[in-house]
A and B are shown apart, each in its own frame.
Chain A
Amino acid sequence: MAVSSQLFGELFAAFGLAVIGYYLVINAYYLWIHGLALLELRDDVRESNWTPPFRQFASPFYPGIGIIMPAYNESATIIESVQSMLSLNYPELEIIVVNDGSTDDTLQRLIDNFDLQTVDADIPIDVPTEEVRAVYRSTSYEELLIVDKENGGKSDALNAGIWLTDMPLFCAVDSDTIIDRDALLQLVRPFLEQPASAVASGGVIRVANECTIEKGVVKSVELPKTGLPGLQVMEYLRAFYSGRLGLNRINGLILISGAFGLFRTEVVREIGGYRHDTITEDFDIVVRLHRYLIDEKREYTVDFIPEPVAWTEVPATRRVLGRQRRRWYRGMVETVVTNRAMLFNRKYGRVGTVIFPFFVAAEMFGPLIEGLGYIILPLAWYFDILNVQFFLIFFFLTTGFGVFLSWFGIFSEVWSFNRYDSPWQILRLLWYGILENFGYRQWKTIVAWQGLIEYLKGVDTWGAMERSGFKTEDD
């Protein structure tokens, strides 16, 4: 017993030292990224404060954009989403809704609301997806095209749109996403300024729960009143806003949200479109683009633009959020394993030697190590080898730093394109930055472990997102 206790004690000490070292390195990296984010944001704010004296709509130089919106059982929100897309300010637009074998009345609602008629002619090109059952055109909206196909998953639906669009750029959006009216004019900027090298750009995703949506436009921005969506607002600000701004500063963006990203159609077709066997297709496609373009020795940029905003409904219950996060985790592991050749590979430059390894260390191993800690600590306490004082100081240090990074994200928001006008809303966001460390963060480590187990078991289900629909002025 004494030997095993001593062995456990030594193992525990080694684990503790490794964890301390790990946290120091990862947090230093995060601090660096958030510092870069401030520099990037400063430039972006300056840029956005200057509106060139010309009429954008009269300019012929905006390349056409095909908006591709996969829809699977999205009956509750599909009409408002399409209306939102139809009301976007952009000179040349095509909207392709891909009904991915919905079992509800998504397609019928589209047919009824947009005067759809079937295209009789066969599709003249090979579309590498599940069978396309029919293509519909609207007799009211020239820019609207509906594709009805057998269910094949989100990647498959996106590929159908990518192969059928005539536009040089395509914007992948989720069907539950509401895009700001001028968002595309901003998101397209890298393609206008670097016409030969820009291949992708992503905008900001914000939480639409509790926001009032009218005719596909966000009329008033409210912070969710319930804890779970509120915590996600803060999370999105930290990870999807501040974090990506920092990575953009060093052309190291490896993730563009599937809910709102703009890509060069031709290049995505060259890499075969979205992979069918992945469940986080948005992460996978950007990593593969980096890999392909570096392999091909082509100059390219992947950009993040902080001002164009897309709004999405986030899970409001622990069950649905858990399912979503397990899927994200599984997909992340899958993409990392698939592209492991990039790790520490100097051929892939900064992305291969710094960004991708740190991403794996922080996002993939971070929650696992933390989760392991929650199991080992009670054991260490039981075996009386836990220095409680040291543990408490370490816990509050890491928590304090975590809160600091969250608040950094909120500060970035307040300082730049603030959508939450009231200081009370900001105060609540700051509170969420503290609150997430007590319960929510620990729960996410369990979800990560569950995601890993699901990955190892080969689970490849998507899982349904249950939506309540957007809040309107009548609600």
Chain B
Amino acid sequence: MATLISLFGYSVPLTVILVGIALVIGLALAVMFWITIGWSTYQSVKSDRRQAVSDELQGELLDRVFDPDVDWQSWIAGMSPTERTVLRSLLDEYLRELDGREADRLRELGVALDIPARSQKQLQRRGEYTHLNALTWLTLLERPDEYVDSAFEPRTPRERAATVRLLYESEALDDASEGLSLLLENSVSQFTVFGQDTLYRVASDDPQALLETAAANYQTWSQPLLIQVLTVFQYLGTSVSTENLSWLTATLEHESERVRATAARSLGSFGWRVDIREQAFLERLVNDPAPRVRQAVYEMLASWGDEQSLRTLIDALAAEDDARARLVGTTALAKRQERIDVDISTKLGQTWEWSREHAEYNTAARRRTDQVRG
């Protein structure tokens, strides 16, 4: 053990070095032990305290929510910090579940708890999550003024989505274009699902506005963002009166299979448009080289559901040589089988039988579920 190690010009016995390292590890272990136990105990005590008041507060809160003459101020006046924390947590939970008068009363409780003023202060602080939590509270309480009166400007995509959501839920948006421009202007990265859902809600009020925004900007968007916007169109209403769908049909020629497939699905909402039901256009779509895109086209045709589309679909499926694409097509077709008055079993063979039988099981199971629910 007399081994000497040369260190910074000194000769140090190896044992000394090892003992030094052992001391460091020992210290690290002691710190880790006490931090872990300390934090666990703190959390446990906090949780127990909250649990102790939670049930009682929950009952009292529910009683008051249904009382039209509730006086929140006098109820919360004597509450401890723990009780207020639990109450805020219950408020957050119920505001997400309840609508109507009960929700309005809960919003008054939020004001009594001084949440809007606190949220406004949080908007002035730094940190994305601080801003997001503040905007979320203001959305739940439908208090856009605290945001409007503040100097806060959303910077990240999530902050922009949360801000638009606040304005949308509070009916404080001048029009859909305002929300869309806040969401999509200079936007390069994709949305979170919350952002995408917000885009969908805002655009639902005025699909035309999103169509125009997309027509003007789609070429500047990243591929994921373009896919997300196209997906939104898939779920929007069909009453869009714009003349110009050329940008949407142009995306059907995109180099990415995923973009083309999503574009085809989004066209499912526009089945009433004569220009996109032109036979030559459909022929081109059902002959896309990518099976994934053809699958989407089959779903689009089934979603249109008129006689001409279904005939085109059946002919395309009969000629389809990709087994999975054919299966996706027959599955979509089976949802429209009540509109088919010709025998297609011989044309589409076992794939059709498989899809038809599964559709029947789906209907039977749904009927059973409805019966159970009464």
A137 at the interface (CB under 8 A from B): yes
> Given A166-B331, A390-B1, are A53 and B136 also a contact pair (CB < 8 Å)?
yes
- The 0/1 profile, CB within 8 Å of B marked 1, for residues 375-403 of chain A is 00000000000010110011011001101
Q: CB < 8 Å: which of A126, A141, A411, A421 contacts B323?
A: A126
Q: Is the CB of B361 within 8 A of A196?
A: no
Q: Is the CB of B365 within 8 A of A141?
A: yes
- The 0/1 profile, CB within 8 Å of A marked 1, for residues 334-374 of chain B is 00000000000000011101101110011011101100000
What residue of chain A has the Cβ atom nearest to residue B138's Cβ? Answer: A53
On chain A, the residues within 8 Å of B201 by CB distance are 54
Q: Which B155-201 residues sit within 8 Å CB-CB of chain A?
A: 161-162, 165, 169, 190-194, 196-198, 200-201
On chain A, the residues within 8 Å of B356 by CB distance are 121
Chain A binder among B41-49, B64-72, B118-126, B206-214? B41-49
Q: Is the CB of B14 within 8 A of A390?
A: yes
Q: Is the CB of A404 within 8 A of B28?
A: yes
Q: Is the CB of B258 within 8 A of A196?
A: yes
A437 at the interface (CB under 8 A from B): no
Q: Is the CB of A53 within 8 A of B231?
A: no
B313 at the interface (CB under 8 A from A): no
On chain B, the residues within 8 Å of A458 by CB distance are none
> Given A195-B227, A396-B22, are A137 and B358 also a contact pair (CB < 8 Å)?
yes
A89 CB to closest chain B CB (Å) equals 14
What residue of chain A has the Cβ atom nearest to residue B35's Cβ? Answer: A411
What separation, in Å, do the CA atoms of A400 and B19 have in the docked complex? 12
What separation, in Å, do the CA atoms of A446 and B328 have in the docked complex? 51
Q: Is the CB of B192 within 8 A of A192?
A: yes
What residue of chain A has the Cβ atom nearest to residue B198's Cβ? Answer: A54
On chain A, the residues within 8 Å of B349 by CB distance are 124
What residue of chain B has the Cβ atom nearest to residue A388's Cβ? Answer: B1
B15 at the interface (CB under 8 A from A): yes
Q: CB < 8 Å: which of A50, A56, A192, A407 contacts B36?
A: A407
What residue of chain A has the Cβ atom nearest to residue B19's Cβ? Answer: A393
Q: CB < 8 Å: which of A196, A390, A410 contacts B227?
A: A196
On chain B, the residues within 8 Å of A4 by CB distance are none
Chain B binder among A59-67, A221-229, A304-312? A59-67
What separation, in Å, do the CA atoms of A62 and B193 have in the docked complex? 8
On chain A, the residues within 8 Å of B228 by CB distance are 195
Chain B binder among A201-209, A210-218, A349-357, A423-431? A423-431
Q: Is the CB of A403 within 8 A of B1?
A: no
What separation, in Å, do the CA atoms of A417 and B275 have in the docked complex? 54
Q: Which B23-57 residues sit within 8 Å CB-CB of chain A?
A: 25-26, 28-29, 32-33, 35-37, 39-41, 43-44, 47
B109 at the interface (CB under 8 A from A): no
Q: Is the CB of A266 within 8 A of B292?
A: yes
What separation, in Å, do the CA atoms of A139 and B360 have in the docked complex? 10
On chain B, the residues within 8 Å of A404 by CB distance are 25, 28-29, 32
Q: Is the CB of B227 within 8 A of A53?
A: no
B235 at the interface (CB under 8 A from A): yes
On chain A, the residues within 8 Å of B35 by CB distance are 411
B140 at the interface (CB under 8 A from A): yes
Q: Is the CB of B369 within 8 A of A142?
A: yes
A190 CB to closest chain B CB (Å) equals 11
Q: Is the CB of B36 within 8 A of A389?
A: no
A294 at the interface (CB under 8 A from B): no
B344 CB to closest chain A CB (Å) equals 14
B326 at the interface (CB under 8 A from A): yes
| Size class of the B contact interface (CB-based, 8 Å) | 35 or more
B223 at the interface (CB under 8 A from A): yes
Q: Is the CB of B362 within 8 A of A142?
A: yes
On chain A, the residues within 8 Å of B365 by CB distance are 137-142
Q: Is the CB of B227 within 8 A of A60?
A: no
A140 CB to closest chain B CB (Å) equals 5
> Given A124-B351, A414-B43, are A54 and B165 also a contact pair (CB < 8 Å)?
yes
Q: Is the CB of B15 within 8 A of A124?
A: no
Q: Is the CB of B350 within 8 A of A121?
A: yes
Q: Is the CB of B96 within 8 A of A55?
A: yes
B173 CB to closest chain A CB (Å) equals 15
Q: Is the CB of B162 within 8 A of A52?
A: yes
Q: Is the CB of B21 within 8 A of A397?
A: yes
Q: CB < 8 Å: which of A61, A117, A139 contacts B231?
A: A61
Q: Which A102-123 residues sit within 8 Å CB-CB of chain B?
A: 117, 119-123
Q: Is the CB of B369 within 8 A of A430?
A: no
A22 CB to closest chain B CB (Å) equals 16
What separation, in Å, do the CA atoms of A113 and B370 have in the docked complex? 19
On chain B, the residues within 8 Å of A60 by CB distance are 200, 234-235
Q: Is the CB of A418 within 8 A of B22?
A: no
> Given A124-B326, A124-B351, are A423 and B44 also a contact pair (CB < 8 Å)?
yes
Q: Is the CB of A53 within 8 A of B40?
A: no
Q: Is the CB of B33 within 8 A of A430?
A: yes
What residue of chain B has the Cβ atom nearest to residue A422's Cβ? Answer: B44
B272 at the interface (CB under 8 A from A): no
Q: Is the CB of B357 within 8 A of A119?
A: yes
What separation, in Å, do the CA atoms of A59 and B25 have in the docked complex? 50
Q: Is the CB of B37 within 8 A of A430?
A: yes
What residue of chain A has the Cβ atom nearest to residue B161's Cβ? Answer: A52
B269 at the interface (CB under 8 A from A): no
What separation, in Å, do the CA atoms of A421 and B129 have in the docked complex? 26
On chain B, the residues within 8 Å of A473 by CB distance are none
A72 at the interface (CB under 8 A from B): no
A283 at the interface (CB under 8 A from B): no
On chain A, the residues within 8 Å of B357 by CB distance are 119-121
On chain A, the residues within 8 Å of B361 by CB distance are 117, 119, 137-139, 142
On chain A, the residues within 8 Å of B129 by CB distance are 46-47, 49-50
Q: Is the CB of A400 within 8 A of B354?
A: no
Q: Is the CB of A122 within 8 A of B36?
A: no
What separation, in Å, do the CA atoms of A46 and B19 have in the docked complex? 39
Q: Is the CB of A54 within 8 A of B197?
A: yes
Q: Is the CB of A397 within 8 A of B22?
A: yes
B224 at the interface (CB under 8 A from A): yes
24 A-B pairs in the complex with CB atoms less than 8 angstroms apart: A49-B129, A51-B92, A52-B136, A55-B96, A61-B193, A62-B193, A120-B353, A122-B354, A124-B351, A142-B365, A142-B366, A195-B227, A196-B190, A389-B1, A389-B15, A390-B1, A390-B15, A390-B18, A393-B19, A397-B18, A404-B25, A404-B29, A423-B37, A426-B36
Residues of A within 8 A of B (CB): 46-47, 49-56, 59-62, 117, 119-126, 137-142, 166, 189, 192-197, 266, 387, 389-390, 393-394, 396-397, 400-401, 403-404, 407-408, 410-411, 414-415, 418, 421-423, 426-427, 430
If A140-B369, A390-B14 are given as contacts, then 15 extra A-B residue pairs at C-beta distance below 8 Å, sorted by A number, are A49-B133, A53-B140, A53-B169, A54-B165, A59-B200, A119-B354, A119-B357, A124-B350, A137-B361, A166-B328, A197-B224, A389-B1, A393-B22, A421-B44, A426-B37
Residues of B within 8 A of A (CB): 1, 14-15, 18-19, 21-22, 25-26, 28-29, 32-33, 35-37, 39-41, 43-44, 47, 92, 96, 129, 132-133, 136, 139-140, 161-162, 165, 169, 190-194, 196-198, 200-201, 223-224, 227-228, 231, 234-235, 258, 292, 323-324, 326-328, 330-331, 349-351, 353-354, 356-358, 361-362, 364-366, 368-369
Per CB-CB distance, the 8 closest pairs between chain A and chain B, nearest first, are A142-B365, A52-B194, A124-B351, A192-B193, A137-B361, A121-B353, A121-B354, A53-B139
